[in-house]
C-alpha cells in the first residue's frame, strides 16, 4: 500500500525523533566539574599546661602580673585616684564629691599595697599662710573620709600646697573652683619605690 508523501514525512520525522530520544537517553550525564580541594587544616598544637601562680604573684589566677601590679607612676599617669573639689573657704567634703571618695576608697581596697599622699590645694585668694592652713584642713578632711570608709590611716599621708600649684590659671570662679581641690597621689607600693 502506498502511503501519501505527507504521511511518509510524518512517519520519518517520528522515527527520527524516536532515534534521537533513544540516543540521548543512552548518553551518560556529563561529569560534574571538579571541585577545588581545600588544603588540609594545620595541626593544632596542644596548649602548654599553665602553672599555678606563686602565692601573692598575681591578684587573681586569671589576671596577668602586669595588670595586677601597677607602679606609682602608672597609677598617677592613669589618674586612677580622682581629684575632689571644695567650696570657697571650706574644708568640708561636699555631697557631690562623696562618690569620688568612695570610688577612691574602693580602688585602694583592691590595691592594699598602695600608699597615698593627699594634697590640699586652694585658690589664689587669701594670704599664703591662710591658704596653707586651709589646704592642710582639706587634705585632713579627705584623709579622714577615706579612713571612715575603711582605708587604714597608716596608708595615707597629707600635705598642703596652699595656692602654690594651681591647675587653672586665671581670675574668676571658673578658674578658682578648679584650684580648690584635694588630689590623691600614689607614693609607694609593696613592689614600688618611694
* Structural domains for the chain: 66-188 (3.30.1330.60)
Distance CA 130, CA 158 (A): 17
**pLDDT band with cut points at 50, 70 and 90 for residue 87:** very high
- The pLDDT of residue 149: 98
More confident residue, 42 or 124: 124
Query: In whole numbers, what is the pLDDT of the chain averaged over residues?
Result: 79
State yes or no: pLDDT of 20 exceeds 80.
Answer: no
How many CB atoms sit inside 10 A of residue 132's CB? 18
- The pLDDT of residue 47: 43
Residues 6+ away with beta carbon under 8 Å from 176: 88, 123, 124, 125, 168
Residue for grid cell 555631697: 95
Residues 6+ away with beta carbon under 8 Å from 165: 119, 121
How many CB atoms sit inside 10 A of residue 167's CB? 11
H helices present in the chain, as ranges: 5-26, 65-68, 72-77, 98-110, 128-148, 173-179
More confident residue, 60 or 20: 20
Apex 92 CA angle, 86 and 97, nearest 5: 55
Amino acid at each position: 500500500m502506498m502511503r501519501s508523501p505527507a504521511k511518509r514525512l510524518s512517519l520519518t520525522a517520528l522515527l527520527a525523533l524516536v532515534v534521537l530520544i533513544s540516543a540521548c537517553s543512552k548518553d551518560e550525564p556529563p561529569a560534574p566539574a571538579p571541585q577545588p580541594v581545600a588544603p588540609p587544616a594545620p595541626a593544632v598544637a596542644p596548649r602548654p599546661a599553665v602553672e599555678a601562680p606563686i602565692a601573692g604573684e598575681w591578684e587573681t589566677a586569671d589576671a596577668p602580673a602586669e595588670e595586677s601590679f601597677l607602679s606609682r607612676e602608672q597609677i598617677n599617669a592613669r589618674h586612677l585616684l580622682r581629684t575632689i573639689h571644695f567650696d570657697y573657704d571650706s574644708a568640708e567634703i561636699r555631697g557631690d564629691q562623696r562618690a569620688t571618695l568612695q570610688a577612691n576608697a574602693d580602688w585602694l581596697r583592691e590595691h592594699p599595697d598602695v600608699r597615698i599622699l593627699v594634697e590640699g590645694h586652694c585658690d589664689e585668694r587669701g594670704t599664703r599662710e591662710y591658704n596653707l592652713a586651709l589646704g592642710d584642713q582639706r587634705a585632713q578632711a579627705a584623709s579622714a573620709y577615706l579612713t571612715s570608709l575603711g582605708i587604714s590611716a597608716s596608708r595615707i599621708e597629707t600635705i598642703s600646697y596652699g595656692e602654690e600649684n594651681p591647675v587653672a590659671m586665671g581670675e574668676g570662679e571658673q578658674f578658682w573652683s578648679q584650684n580648690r581641690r584635694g588630689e590623691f597621689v600614689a607614693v609607694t607600693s609593696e613592689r614600688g619605690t618611694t
